[in-house]
Structure 1
C-alpha cells in the first residue's frame, strides 16, 4: 500500500519548496535584516535561519514519509487526535490571518505608492481595504482563475527581481553593497527569529507535502536543495534592492527599480495569488478550530479573509518583526514535542507509532511551556517599562523537547497506557 503512495520525486518536492520561497515575504525578510545589520551578516543570518528550518523540515518530513500521513495525523500520537487537530488548526489559522493582513497591506501600499507617482492620492488604508476585498472574493469564487494567475505571477516576480538587481548594481558600485553595514540595531538572535518565523509553519507541516516521497533521502534532498539556495537568494535580492532604494518599504523599493508599472504589477500579482490561499487555508483551519460544519466553508473563508483585511487596514505591516518573532516562538515548539516523541521515544521506528484518542495533555502542556517562554521577550517588548528579555528564537523548541521527555519519564506509566490506545 505504501508503495502505491510513494510516487513523488524529490525534484518535484524541491520545486514546491523553492516556489514557496520565491515570494514577497522573502524579499521583506532581506530588507528587514539589512536595515539593522550588514549585508554579509544578513546573508549569514538567512543561511543559518533557513538551515535550522531545513533541519526541522527533514525531521518532520521524514515522519510523514515513514507513516504516509499528513501532519495532523502524525501529531495525533503526541497531542492526541482532538488535541492535534485543534493545535495545528489554531496555529494555521493565526498564521494565515496574519499573513493575509500583511500581504494585503503590502499590496495596498504598493498601489497607493504607484498612484502617487501620477499625482493620484489614495489612502493606504482604503487601498488595503479594496485589495483585501478583491483577494477575498477571488478566494471564494476564483480558484481556477487564481491557479492560472499563479503561473503568471511567479515568473513576473522573478523577472522584476532580476531586473531590479541588475539596475541597482549598474547604478551602484558592487563593493559598496558588500561593504554596507546597516544601523547595527538588529542582533543575530532577532534576525534569526525573523527568518525562522517566516517559514516555521512550513517546516512543521512539511509532512503534508513529503508523505508521498519514496524515502527519507528524498526528504533531505528536497528540503536542502529547495529551501536554502532560493531562500538565501531571495534574502540577498531583498537586501540589495533595499540598500539601493534606501528604504525597507517593499512598495517603495519596487516603485524605485526603474519601472513602476512592472513593480506594481509584480507585487499585486504575487500578493494576490498568495493571499487567496491564505484566506482559503485560514477558513478551513477555522472550521476545525470551532467545529463549523463543512457546508459553511465559504462563510468561514469569508470571515478569515475579512479579519485579515481588517488587520491590513489597521496597518499590521508595521508589526512585521514582532509577528515573525511570535511565530518563531509558537510554531517550532510543536516540532519540538513531535521530534522528542518520534525520534527519541520511538527512535524513529514507525512500527512504534500509534495515535492517542482524545487529548494527550503531556504533549499540549509541553508545547505551551515552550511557546509561552519563547513568546515572553516579544510580549514584553510592547511594554518598555517592564524588564526586557533577550530574544532567543530556539528556546521554545528546546524547552518543549525537554519538557516532553521529562514529563514522559515522570508520568511513564500513564503515558505508556495512553500510547497503546491504537486506532481501531
Structure 2
C-alpha cells in the first residue's frame, strides 16, 4: 500500500460504524418503524427489519471489502461492469433520483412540523405545501453555498436528535407498559404482507448499502470494513425502527409529525424535528447534486448548479405531497437500487470479470453492455414480479444475468484465441 493510501486507510471498525450510526439516527429511520407498525405486530416489525437489513448488510459488506482491496469508490468499482459512462448514468439515475426523493421526504417533514408550530402557537393556518417548498429551498441553499458550515449544524442537530428520541421513549414508557407494545396487533384491513415489509426494509437502506464503498475504502482492513458496516447498520436500524413503532403505538398515529406534536413541549419537539431533517437533507442535496452532475456529464465546476437543480426538484416533490406516498417511494427505491449491488458483487466476487477502470485511467465515455443489461433485467424483475420476494429476486437476477453474460464473453474470447 502506498503512503497516500496509508493516509486514506484511517478508519477502524468503530469509526466506520459511527459514520453509519450517525446516518441512521434520522427522521426516515423512525418513519420505517411507524409505517410498518400500521400493518404488522411489533414482533414482526422487528423480524422484518432484521431480515431486510441483514440482506443489505451482506451486499454492503461484500462491496466494502472490494472497496478496501481496490481503494475505490462506488462509481469506480461499478465502472468495471458498467463502463465509466455507464456507471455515471446508471448510478446517477438509481442513486440520484433516490436521494432526490429523500430530500423531498425530509423537506415535507420539516414543512409539516413548521406548519404545525405556526398553527399551535400563532393560530396561523400556514399551508403545509408552501412551508415544505420554502424550507426545502432554504435547505438547498445551505447545501449550495454553506456546505463548509454544515458541520456546525451537525454539532447541534445530532445531539438534539438523540436527546429528542430519548425523551420520546421515556415519555412513552411512563404511560404504557412493554406488554401493551409487545402484544400490539394492527387493524386487519391495514395488514401488510410480511415479505413486502422485508422488501421495504431493503429499499429503505439500499442506497446506503450500494454507496458503502465511498466510505469503506478508507477502512484500514477488510475486517474493519465488514465489522464497521454490520455494527453500524443492523443495531442502529433495528433500534430506530423499533422506536418509531413504539411511538406510533403509544400515540395511536403513524404520522411522525403528529407523534411529536402530541408530546409534552410540542414546540420544542417539532423544532428539533426540523433541525434533524435539515442536517440530513443538506447531505441529500449535496449527494444528489453530485449524481446529477455525473449524469448530465457536467464538469466539476458546475457542481453548485447541479445541487441547485436537485434541491429545487426535491422541494417541488415535497410540496406535491411525497410524504403521503412514503410507502410507494420505498418500493420505488427497492426496484431501482439493489440490482446495482447485484451487478457489482457478481463482477468482483463471482464472475471473475473485474477489471479496474476508475481513477485517472478511467474512460469517461465507455459503456459496457453486460452490466447495463444485467441491471435492466434486475429492474424489470422487480417491476414485473408481483410477489413481495421480488426485492431479493432483483438482486439475484441482476447477478445471475451478469454472470451468464460474463461467462459467454469469456468463452467467446477463448474460442477466438483458439
Name the structure 2 match of 1:146: 150
* Partner Cα distance (1:240, 1:259) in 2: 19
Name the structure 2 match of 1:133: 137
Contact 1:369/1:399 (8 A) holds in 2: yes
Name the structure 1 match of 2:202: 196
Q: After TM superposition, give the deviation of residue 389 of structure 1 in Å.
A: 5.0
* Partner Cα distance (2:409, 2:200) in 1: 36
Q: After TM superposition, give the deviation of residue 414 of structure 1 in Å.
A: 5.3
Matched, 1:354 2:356: yes
* Partner Cα distance (1:302, 1:291) in 2: 16
Q: Is 393-402 or 353-362 further displaced after alignment?
A: 353-362
Provide, for residues 323-367 of structure 1, a one-character-per-residue CA deviation record: whole Å limited to 9, x for no partner: 1112112111011111111111229xxxx6333851110111001
* Partner Cα distance (2:351, 2:409) in 1: 13
* Partner Cα distance (2:194, 2:230) in 1: 22
| TM-aligned CA distance change 1:414 to 1:138, over 3 Å | farther
Q: After TM superposition, give the deviation of residue 415 of structure 1 in Å.
A: 6.9
| TM-aligned CA distance change 1:116 to 1:47, over 3 Å | same
Q: Secondary structure of 1:117's match?
A: helix
2:379 corresponds to which of 367, 371, 381:
371
* Structure 2 segments unaligned to the other structure (5+ residues): none
* Partner Cα distance (1:322, 1:414) in 2: 43
Query: What's the TM-score, normalizing by structure 1?
Result: 0.91
Contact 1:330/1:375 (8 A) holds in 2: no
Matched, 1:113 2:111: no
1:234 corresponds to which of 237, 240, 251:
240
| TM-aligned CA distance change 1:250 to 1:18, over 3 Å | same
Q: After TM superposition, give the deviation of residue 173 of structure 1 in Å.
A: 2.4
Name the structure 2 match of 1:306: 312
Q: After TM superposition, give the deviation of residue 4 of structure 1 in Å.
A: 4.4
Question: Could you say what the CA RMSD is over the residues aligned between the two structures, in angstroms?
Answer: 1.8
Contact 1:408/1:415 (8 A) holds in 2: no
* Structure 1 segments unaligned to the other structure (5+ residues): 378-387, 418-424
* Partner Cα distance (2:167, 2:412) in 1: 61
| TM-aligned CA distance change 1:165 to 1:416, over 3 Å | farther
Contact 2:114/2:271 (8 A) holds in 1: no
* Partner Cα distance (1:3, 1:116) in 2: 55
* Partner Cα distance (1:20, 1:254) in 2: 21
How does 1:85-96 map onto structure 2 within 5 Å? 85-96=88-99
Contact 1:69/1:207 (8 A) holds in 2: yes
* Partner Cα distance (1:183, 1:376) in 2: 29
Q: After TM superposition, give the deviation of residue 92 of structure 1 in Å.
A: 2.2
1:329 corresponds to which of 316, 320, 335:
335
Contact 1:168/1:241 (8 A) holds in 2: yes
1:156 corresponds to which of 156, 160, 163:
160
Provide, for residues 366-386 of structure 1, a one-character-per-residue CA deviation record: whole Å limited to 9, x for no partner: 011101220235xxxxxxxxx
Provide, for residues 164-217 of structure 1, a one-character-per-residue CA deviation record: whole Å limited to 9, x for no partner: 111111111221111101235111111112111111011111111011212211
* Partner Cα distance (2:355, 2:124) in 1: 61
Q: Is 121-130 or 289-298 further displaced after alignment?
A: 289-298
How does 1:9-408 map onto structure 2 within 5 Å? 9-118=12-121, 119-184=123-188, 185-346=191-352, 353-355=355-357, 358-376=366-384, 389-390=387-388, 392-408=390-406
* Partner Cα distance (1:103, 1:312) in 2: 8
Q: After TM superposition, give the deviation of residue 145 of structure 1 in Å.
A: 2.9
Q: Secondary structure of 2:95's match?
A: helix
Aligned residues: 403
